[in-house]
Structure 1
């Protein structure tokens, strides 16, 4: 088998974030044109965030191209600083391009109900019977496994792993800039040109020149703000709750022999929890939205109502919630049940948390490789030891809890019951 080489002519994608994405390798071009990668055009990068930020409808396809482009630029800056073979450079580029290829429709909402992880499907696509696997094998029989190991963070070369997965990597740099651009916010913007200029490779990862510390600080704070202002927005989370409840109800009905007007053929393997790779790859957001549109007219009132809410953006309202207040949740469940509102589908506590930056702590379950600065003396120093800003947020996990409920259903109840619920929730009628 002939190993892939360079294209006769460079291919260029126009990109709103990086201006251009350059493809010179035949291998990369063939991967982009594979059916499994093209499927990412039909998977949104930000899931249900378009309910909150109407511009946030970009796909995992253009994010993946962006991560590839940043990786390509990183490798260019490393020329003459560290020796990487052509195969190692292609390994970096392939891992960057394919790191999200296993994502499913509405990613995390879908995963929670059907209990699987997109990273497992990414590995299955890379090493299984797929076009991507056949393309990668042109570099050698073990090359698909090596790409999988880089994405899974188990590959032996720590530098290569850190470029795609660390606290400041190609993946994070692209999604912050890209998501900020498409959602129309300024939080995610940072000086990527400066960061790339001060980035330096070494055998265990990368470090940054001390002179570029402020650009790194800006990146850390941009990430912090994007998570709390965009990714964890309570309205986006409300849409996710409704979507999860739709999947939950549809799965429940299937297992209780409900007869759908149109059999959800492409979802049956997921309901049965017997999903083959071909089943997974046949599913995208267009398919899921088709079924949600159909389910809007189903006889089951809960499924129909949830689908109508999702399609028409009649989402659930929310209040702040104290997770220690078990009594409140139990009381509300009882009141909802007595009032004829099923709490399994209309009362939900949603929690989220983020650790914006942390240094390496071997005692913790989630170990994070620190960001290192190179001082003028050549000594490497962990970022938070020099940055007052980063020190202030290092190792500090922030949590947020919201209680979601259907205010319209509560308002439709008899006044006495409605008032009792609103009193327990601490809300007025117009929330």
Structure 2
């Protein structure tokens, strides 16, 4: 018997607040969940610093990965099963790729990637292909199986239908995180009728399409995603915490490069500072480790590192005003100068943060971030691109919305025991933008 067909003697289930249960019958999936690399995802939050805005957002990448697996399992075992366009031999590959698609995420991954030039997709492939427990489990299916899983995650696998299950404008990844993030943040925006979407989903040779009769459920999903980005993912308070987090990482790196003597040797950070991170180093990083250092660094002699860590750990965040960098770049120069005059380092305490989202796009060949559109299957068998049939989706198609905020430490400026006049000047400039 092939390893790929080995089933557990009885089905295992994980109780899930979003999908009720995640069902596991395949021994390979059960064994992958038990690997140390997959268990590490329990220690990495799905939404990074969002828990400082929505206190329920404590869920992990582990939760989400199981959820994506469960949606793909339902698609391949219930929706696609027996359809001629679906190759049943791709079933296990689809399940493994769904489960492992986020394996390489680091702690607070987006801030980390920005400062230390790491890439979670690169590390996902490294874990799948490297000397790991995950690789050893995948090898049991066949010597080329880890590479196939890595190719699906990297979007280069030859069967585009398999890739589209976890990477397209309407995929299992997004369907899980919208509902899961809505559930844990307590907002109502991220909910949509997934049951209906699964019912109208059809496999074609190279992509998933949706029956025309299910168009309204797809519209609901697109609007749901749009609202979640602006109400949750780009929330200005969460971004304030991200700014502080990024500045801590930058400050620690700058101090190391200037031969600063840390009270607490930043052992786990050294390979990051030197940008020589091995897979072994990377897998030792999780949010518990990072928060331990932040707590230790609150007692560092370097005032900036100590203050920033204190702000992050105790949620004393930066305030913000609306700001348009294209029109107001001169103002930034003025503020930079005034901050220096007031002895507040603008490199760490004055920051512009921009968020941008394209909720839905039609096909624009050759453009950056080329997106395959969502297609509707018409009653006559013809395929029609979603925004041509839906006036709601047409209204937001191809429209990128961007939002800029300027972050600053209001408490420093209100303390006017020193440089009071300059600080007053800064506050009056910022007030005009408030």
Q: Please indicate the TM-score interval, normalised by the length of the shorter structure.
A: over 0.9
Cα deviation, 1:201-227, whole Å, max 9, x if unaligned, reads 000101111110000000000000000
What is the rounded CA distance, in whole Å, between the counterparts of 2:408 and 2:166 in structure 1? 39
Secondary structure of the corresponding residue to residue 405 of structure 2 = strand
Map Cα deviations across residues 135-167 of structure 1 (whole Å, 9 max, x no partner): 101111111111111111111111001011000
Q: How does 1:296-307 map to 2 (within 5 A)?
A: 296-307=298-309
Distance 1:149 1:15 in 2: 29
Coordinate RMSD, CA, aligned: 1.3
Query: Contact conserved, 1:357 with 1:390, CA < 8 A, in 2?
Result: yes
| Corresponding residue SS for 1:11 | strand
Kindly indicate whether residue 363 of structure 2 is the aligned counterpart of residue 369 of structure 1. no
- State the distance in 1 between where 2:405 and 2:13 align: 44
Which residue of structure 1 aligns with residue 190 of structure 2? 188
Gaps of 5+ in 1: none
Q: Which residue of 2 aligns with 1:24?
A: 25
CA distance in 1, matches of 2:86, 2:212: 25
The CA deviation at 1:423 is 2.1
- What is residue 64 of structure 1 aligned with on the other side? 65
What's 2:409 paired with?
Answer: 406
User: What is the CA-CA distance between 1:87 and the residue it aligns to?
Assistant: 4.0
Q: Is the contact made by 1:238 and 1:315 (CA closer than 8 Å) also made in structure 2?
A: yes
Does 1:142 find its partner at 2:147? Answer: no
Q: Tell me how far 1:415 sits from its aligned partner.
A: 3.5
Match of 1:288 in 2: 290
Question: Which residue of the partner structure matches residue 347 of structure 2?
Answer: 344
Give the distance between the partners of 1:83 and 1:377, measured in 2 at CA: 18
SS state at 1:298 partner: coil
Partner in structure 1 of residue 34 of structure 2: 33
What is the CA distance between 1:82 and its match in structure 2? 3.2
Tell me if the contact between 1:78 and 1:201 (Cα under 8 Å) persists in the aligned partners: yes
CA distance in 2 between counterparts of 1:180 and 1:385 reads 29
What per-residue deviation string (whole Å, max 9, x for no partner) do you get for residues 324-362 of structure 1? 211001111111011100000000000110000011111
Query: C-alpha deviations, 1:243-291, integer Å up to 9, x for none?
Result: 0000111111111111111111111111111111000001100000000
Q: Corresponding residue for 2:3?
A: 3
Q: Is the 8 A contact 1:82 1:202 kept in 2?
A: no
Alignment match, 1:273: 275
TM-score, normalising length from structure 1? 0.98
Distance in 2, Cα, partners of 1:166 & 1:113 = 28
SS in 1 for 2:331: helix
Q: 1:101 to 1:127 in 2, by over 3 A?
A: same
Long gaps (5+) in structure 2:
none
The number of aligned residues is: 429
Cα distance in 2 between the residues matched to 1:284 and 1:418: 39
1:392 equivalent to 2:395? Answer: yes
SS at match of 1:65: helix
Structure 2 counterpart of 1:117, from 112, 119, 124? 119
Cα offset for 1:426? 2.6
**1:211 aligned residue:** 213
- State the distance in 2 between where 1:367 and 1:272 align: 33
**Bigger shift: 303-312 or 87-96?**
87-96
**Which residues in structure 2 correspond to 1:220-259 (within 5 Å)?**
220-259=222-261
Under a length normalisation based on structure 2, what TM-score does the superposition of the two structures give?
Answer: 0.97
Q: What's the offset of the Cα at 1:85? A: 4.8
Give, in whole Å, the separation in 2 of the partners of 1:237 and 1:343.
18
1:169-188 paired onto structure 2 within 5 Å: 169-188=171-190
